[in-house]
Structure 1
Amino acid sequence: MQRIQEGRSGGGGVLDKNKQPVLLQHGVLVDGITWVVNTPEQALPFILADSGFDVWIANTRGTRFSRSHLTLNATQPEYWNWSWDELVEYDLPATFDFLSRETGQKIHYVGHSMGTLIALASFSEGKLVDKLKSAALLSPVAYLSHMTTAIGVLAAKAFVGEMTTLMGVAEFNPKGEAVAKFLHSLCKNPGVDCYDLMSSFTGKNCCLNVSTVDLFLKNEPQSTSTKNMVHLAQTARKGLVSKYDYGREELNMEHYGQRKPPIYNLSNIPRDLPLFLSYGGRDALSDVGDVELLLDSLKFHDGEDLTTLFLKDYAHADFIMGVNAKEMVYNALIAFFRRH
């Protein structure tokens, strides 16, 4: 994790131990740097720090800052034997435990894309909620069956069965040769514009400037596990938020004691847990139809504890890199945190 303890006004060299901690969790195929490619006036972590929060930026396992391991290294297939289930079961709780010990306080959470999926799954299982003040979910991803990104739909169809390695590669490295070949094969399909891969995945973002996108592309994308991509593809194909499907009943029995993988029941999320959801009309990954399914599973949430903000011109990347995201999203998000 990286930490920003002080805003630009500073505190005369004296750190305020009572500042409210905020944890930022990025999505898939990127790392924590995506939060800070904009200027300090436009990037959420800096805006939060300037607003008096104690900011922590997480980096998912397998990305550049989180590749260490006690016994394995990233060249071994075993290192990559995980999906977002493990992020729900181990990584997010460990992060929360660490922050709780370090700060002695409950935590505000901001997730984007897969960072919202792992949070929602955790909350539905009763994890984290005792250490949480509130959660803001940007481009929330839970259900994926409506996604309109052509390349995403094709990838979801390609990742079938137990294909936990791609051409024998357990690491899904977008800059590696195996993944480049895989993407090239998808690019031959009509409707996929591989000259603008970012828009092909995210939808047509309204509000990114060229220098931000250039900086983003210098630093991203990052690796994840092929198994994680398979799990996300299963989520898209099945229209369910469930644990990883091993593809054969006997393997599921071995792992779960049942023939089908257990479902994360999102209606189990505590009704009094303050949630802020912001989603966009042009988002090809977090499609409005899927967000509506998510909101339906939260329909019994206490009214004052569920805030939604819809932006018709926003697509997936606008929420973390949009030049006007402060005015459009972050001011409302900070006001929500202050209320809770």
Structure 2
Amino acid sequence: FTLIKKYGYPCEIHRVYTEDKYVLEMHRIPYGKENSIKGTRPVVFLQHGLLSSSAEFVLMRPDKGLAYLLAEAGYDVWMGNARGNTYSRKHVSLKTTSSSFWKFSWHEIGYYDLPAMIDYVIKETGVKKMQYIAFSQGTTAFWVMTSMRPEYNEKFTAMHAMAPIAYVGNIRSPVIRAVAPFTNSLEKILKLIGANEILPNGNLNKLAGEKLCIEEAITQSLCTNLLFLFCGFDVEQLNK
């Protein structure tokens, strides 16, 4: 929200309740900075990938960030946040310290989260259909929604899949391929030690980012190469 405002774009925060009582936060850029014509615009819905949030669409500069580009192209841009991420950490009765809060996967995100957010956008804007753009896990969740709840197919004019995932057998990340055979054991170990989150946003991660990964740090290359190990090498799309 702060970053969007910093670049001079309008931004709204919306909260949505799912059928199973999770509270999700959505971010909206209703119009652009240069193309600031208000009124009815075609709606586009952006959904983030694994271990991410709506921030992935606005972290890059306005000349590269997808949310900014779409707003300038005349779209009403809505960005979803799946349960458990930085912006969607609330539940009507469960706390994030409870393991019950974390008993979900991309299946629940597709079955509960996406329909709740899509219905909210339709109610708020009055549109009957929208375009859907997603990255990684956001594509998986879409296919869960449209296969398990087929009535949602008619709510979209198009679906754009970036790094789509339906099956994981062809993932090329050396780290993920090395860890994959041991996921069941890792899950049991994490449960035993009470670790509910993977790579949570905390003071340690924040400190590492501020000290080791900033532009002036000689260790920045370690940060970027660690990211490339997980996500693939693409220096042109790395915001320096």
TM-score, normalised by the number of residues in structure 2: 0.74
Aligned residues: 194
Question: What do residues 43-83 of structure 1 show as CA deviations (whole Å, max 9, x unaligned)?
Answer: 11111111110000111111121111110111111111111
1:111 aligned residue: 134
CA distance in 1, matches of 2:166, 2:85: 22
8 A contact 1:194–1:200 mirrored in 2:
no
* CA distance in structure 2 between the partners assigned to 1:57 and 1:137 by the alignment: 15
In the alignment, structure 2 segments of 5+ residues that lack a partner are 1-25, 206-220
Give the letter aligned to residue 70 of structure 2. L
Task: Report what 1:204 is aligned to.
Answer: 233
Separation of aligned partners in 2, 1:174 and 1:194: 20
Q: Tell me, yes or no, if the aligned pair for 2:111 and 2:144 is still in contact at 8 Å.
A: no
Distance 1:90 1:127, change over 3 A: farther
Using the alignment, how far apart are the partners of 1:50 and 1:67 within structure 2?
30
Which protein has the larger Cα radius of gyration, Structure 1 or Structure 2? 1
* CA offset digits 1:155-186 (Å, max 9, x no partner): 22221169366132122234569x9xxxxxxx
Which residue, 175, 196, 217 being the options, matches 1:170? 196
Out of 137, 155, 159, which is 2:183 matched to?
159
Distance 1:174 1:117, change over 3 A: same
Q: In the alignment, is the contact (CA less than 8 A) between 2:86 and 2:201 conserved in 1?
A: no
Correspondences of 1:49-68 after superposition (within 5 Å): 49-68=71-90
CA contact (8 A) 1:23 1:56 kept: yes
Query: What residue identity is the alignment partner of 2:118?
Result: F
Percent sequence identity is 30
Q: What SS does structure 2 have at the residue aligned with 1:2? A: strand
Give per-residue Cα distances to partners, 1:92-147, cap 9 Å, x unaligned: 11011101111121111000010011112222231521211111111111111011
> Following the alignment from structure 1 to structure 2, what is the Cα–Cα distance between the partners of residues 144 and 123?
20
Tell me which amino acid in the other structure corresponds to 1:148: R
- In the alignment, which residue of structure 2 is the partner of 1:139? 163
Pick the aligned partner of 1:85 from 94, 107, 131.
Answer: 107
Say whether the 8 Å CA contact 1:21–1:56 is kept in structure 2: yes
Aligned to 1:55, the other structure's residue is in SS state strand
Does structure 1 retain, via aligned residues, the 8 Å contact 2:46–2:80? Answer: yes
Letter paired with 2:126: G
Contact kept? 1:164, 1:170, Cα under 8 Å: no
Gaps of 5+ in 1: 180-192, 214-340
Residue 65 (structure 2) pairs with residue 43 (structure 1): yes
1:3 partner amino acid:
R
The alignment partner of 1:110 has SS state of strand
- 2:28 aligned partner: 3
After superposing on structure 2, the runs of 4+ consecutive aligned residues of structure 1 that deviate more than 6 Å are none
Which secondary structure state, in structure 1, belongs to the residue aligned with residue 236 of structure 2? coil
Cα 1:164–1:45 change in 2 (3 A) is farther
Kept in 2, the 8 Å contact 1:165–1:171? The answer is no
Alpha-carbon contact 1:20-1:53 (below 8 Å) kept: yes
- Could you tell which deviates more after superposition, 1-10 or 18-27? 1-10
Query: Do residues 95 (structure 1) and 117 (structure 2) align?
Result: yes
Aligned mates of 2:31, 2:125 — CA distance in 1: 14
Q: Structure 1 164/96 Cα, relative in aligned 2: closer, same or farther at 3 Å?
A: farther
The reply on whether 1:70 has 2:92 as its aligned counterpart is yes
Larger relative CO (CA 8 A, sep 6+): 1 or 2?
A: 1
Change (3 A) 1:7 1:175: closer
SS of aligned partner of 2:89: coil
Provide the alpha-carbon RMSD of the alignment: 2.4
Matching residue's letter, 1:207: E
